[in-house]
Structure 1
């Protein structure tokens, strides 16, 4: 499986826009169906040495200009979080943090936590809430964290768990008294945003219900941009192809331990460029891939998924789907690889415009 010789340099020199570093799988909450199965007893966490090594190697990829820090709960080891952002900032990298906001007991406390991080390159705070999170973290803390970020002049994005039977919804964020108080001030409310995110199950129980009639997002039908445009490292010091919900359930998306030399982050990233399945996911996405597999073998079970990451896990973990792809992929390999190169070209062009 080879890229055309005229395009080898283009693909070889293509690198991601950003990096995602999961500092820990430890969390003060233990939400049902957490995609990474985080909780108070999950022991996996990166060390300072791991983090320095990853940042050093990330900064060698000149296209990467920011890092997303998450977990688990990144604020559980605040000193490590400070160290991480400071080191990244010294290497010219800005930061976004994902948190449940447990630390925001009030605005004074929240701002005391956030200000040193902003001084070290924090430009955005993402806060998670919803029915599951609120069993452990009051919504008031999540909103206090977000509003404090806005008052300090950085973007705050609140994501709300969503299923058909969710009781807390995005509208409840904007109706909450903490947000209505923000509306009465002169702070830039455009820095405050909220949206729903699907809360999915990777198990066989049917506790949650969903609106399966909602059409998938066009960009997911037309390709998964998480691949190739981001490089990620989990708390096991393992490089990951994407930041998707199912990545810890798909061995093919786990690239290997980040060390040096042969297993450098750059080499692990580059090895993906010759992987047909990843190329196909990048240009068509898992929904289209599953549809094609069913064309090849109509006996493949029709399964409804509410999230494209579930479809991706199904493709990689279903032996029947894998078998039919291996038996038939030569029919489409040339077309997929042409479109893969075209998408890399377009992404490179858009990067040039933004830069």
Structure 2
């Protein structure tokens, strides 16, 4: 069931975007120790259950020699890698050629580029064009562009500037959620396109263990989950098998998978002890609801008696 894992290498970035979910910047140094990262990557690469290892940040290409070292470890064990970047390195055409050649040789299957009105203040759209144009020579590497949008920043200018370079490239617009720096934005900026009245919109989109630079392990890669108490490890550098064991044994995650968020929302709306949790009728992502429900250990403790009752009825 779980064949992939994500490692968030650190908070250092060349940009200081006003919407950044991790509040990354050039001055941020929060990261796991390099030795810890290498040991994790070696462990994941040698785990027969894992097929894909994904790397994100911060900006992972800022220390390309270290990134390449990690990719070499993964490739040497016959595993695949995926990468997320803001594409700043597209400013140097020679680097773009070298990086794509390396990615092809080292088994990178996906490259996700984050570029929108927020990133464009720090990374010129021409950089992204250089990357997209070079990517056509490497059909085995799927390149996509993810565009974060708010009501005032819909990314249309960026798409227009990409022009023919974007032909054949998947471009995905997604609404911002109020985490990290985006919490400082006016509420009117968020496109709340989903409703709690629609049961199909109250399902968790999926699980993929994430080893975060704060030292914790989380059950998915949504930016919202890092602002919750949904932590799966009790020690640093926990093994993948132990993480999966904890995910499978976690009653909260089981109920979330089985019943969706509706089960938790109904409890919140029906019981006074949850009055401090204000569930919005309309929201920009189900992940924002997850964050509201499980933001603290105290919230999870309040759900515990109801989850225990659910478990006893299930038995």
How would you bin the TM-score normalised by the shorter chain?
Answer: 0.7 to 0.9
Aligned-pair Cα RMSD in Å? 2.9
Whether the 8 Å contact between 1:23 and 1:72 is mirrored in structure 2 is yes
Whether the 8 Å contact between 1:65 and 1:93 is mirrored in structure 2 is yes
Trace 1:19-98 onto structure 2 (pairs within 5 A).
Answer: 19-98=5-84
Q: 1:164 — aligned with what?
A: 151
Label 1:255 to 1:320 Cα distance change in 2 as closer, same or farther (>3 A): closer
| TM-score of the two chains, using structure 2 as the length reference | 0.85
Label 1:211 to 1:247 Cα distance change in 2 as closer, same or farther (>3 A): closer
Q: 1:276 — aligned with what?
A: 251
Q: What is the SS of the residue equivalent to 1:225?
A: coil
Q: What is the SS of the residue equivalent to 1:123?
A: strand
Q: Measure the CA separation in 2 of the matches of 1:257 and 1:320.
A: 21
Label 1:146 to 1:288 Cα distance change in 2 as closer, same or farther (>3 A): farther
Trace 1:1-355 onto structure 2 (pairs within 5 A).
Answer: 16-153=2-139, 154-169=141-156, 172-173=158-159, 175-176=160-161, 178-180=162-164, 183=167, 189=168, 192-202=169-179, 203=183, 205-206=185-186, 209-215=189-195, 221-226=202-207, 230-259=208-237, 263-286=238-261, 289-297=264-272, 299=275, 301-303=278-280, 304-317=282-295, 322=300, 324-333=302-311
Q: What is the SS of the residue equivalent to 2:145?
A: strand
Whether the 8 Å contact between 1:75 and 1:103 is mirrored in structure 2 is yes
Shift of 1:224: 3.9
Between 85-94 and 51-60, the greater mean CA deviation after superposition: 51-60
| TM-score of the two chains, using structure 1 as the length reference | 0.76
Q: How many residues align?
A: 307
Q: Measure the CA separation in 2 of the matches of 1:278 and 1:270.
A: 12
Shift of 1:138: 1.3
Shift of 1:88: 0.5
Whether the 8 Å contact between 1:296 and 1:324 is mirrored in structure 2 is no
Q: What is the SS of the residue equivalent to 1:52?
A: helix
